[in-house]
Amino acid sequence: MKELLRELCGIPGPSGNEDCIREAIRKAVEGMADDLRTDALGNLILRKGSGDRKLMLAAHMDEIGLIVTHVEENGFLRFGTIGGIAPVALVGQRVQFLDGSLGVIGCEKVDDRKDLKQEHLFIDVRNGSNRRVGDVCCPVGGAEFDGDFVVSRALDDRVGCVVLIETLRRLCAEGFQGAEVYFVFTVQEELGLRGAHTATFGVKPDVGIAVDVTVAGDTPKAKSTSLRLGKGCAIKVKDHSVITTPAVRRKLQKIAEERGIPYQLEVLEQGGTDAGAIQLTCGGIPTGAVSVPVRYVHTPSETAHMGDVEACVNLLVQFIKEA
């Protein structure tokens, strides 16, 4: 999984520009799908097996990024955000445009750092004439491993994509054919769970599970949350977009406890995942969510523990087998 995570985290794919990351995932799952298609919005939808009931697993391919809104006469670029990014996380960062060119985020003089706003920031590309309004870019930085810890940009949600791919690999290795399972790699999650809406309408599953990251609470003076890196996958109870279906959540917990899979319960006060879109589609879908705890979410140095990733895979493999 480390090599796959390193590969996927190195590919830029801000919301609405997922072509390259979708192609990489398509290559990673070649030969394992009974059916593989891309829908009109750009979601990659893989079907494995067949049966009377449909199970859908979803992880989003897109990542946060920046979009050029104005090119000044001196060549510096003003920009907006794609997804939620705090200005303090951007100052001094290097960014890469989809054509490979680099920029550096600079900041106007601000008397008090507490007053820092996005309008004070600009991108220095040294030759702004080559850039246009609408060009997009992402922070520079691929996955680096320190023992069982991984630090990277775009763990949100390339790590979820890796969980889905590894789950599929293990099921294929066991020759599993017991259910009709859809592995969906969604687009534009960071802009409002858009891809999950259209994908769920297309699949019409009986049960949906979203796989994403969540905010760890194990750093100094972090917001009050019980989630810790290295303590297992997080089974979601609630976030800003969803209250997971109790029966699905209890089933995930029961499997984890019976199989000795380490897990934590997640209540996230802000933020949401594709679970929120899945649950409200097609008249309502019983929905659960499994998360990887991550420090420094929506920064270029998101940090996770591979043991938690492994726990997510083990839980989903067993959940599918019992579906």
The catalytic residue positions are 189
What are the beta bridge partners of residue 264? 234
User: Which strands form 302-305's sheet, in the order they lie side by side?
Assistant: 144-146, 149-152, 302-305
Q: Any idea what DSSP says for residue 323?
A: -
Which residue type is seen at 102? L
Q: What is the C-alpha to C-alpha distance for residues 306 and 103, in angstroms, rounded to an integer?
A: 31
Q: Rounded to the nearest 5°, which phi and psi values hold at 106?
A: -105, 175
Between CA 102 and CA 184 the distance in angstroms is: 31
Q: What stretches of the chain adopt beta strand conformation (E)?
A: 35-38, 44-48, 54-60, 65-71, 77-82, 94-97, 102-107, 121-124, 136-139, 144-146, 149-152, 180-186, 207-215, 233-238, 263-267, 287-294, 302-305
245 vs 133, 147, 176, 278, CA distance in Å? 43, 36, 26, 11
Q: What single DSSP character describes residue 129?
A: G
Separation between Cα atoms, residue 158 and residue 312, nearest integer Å:
14
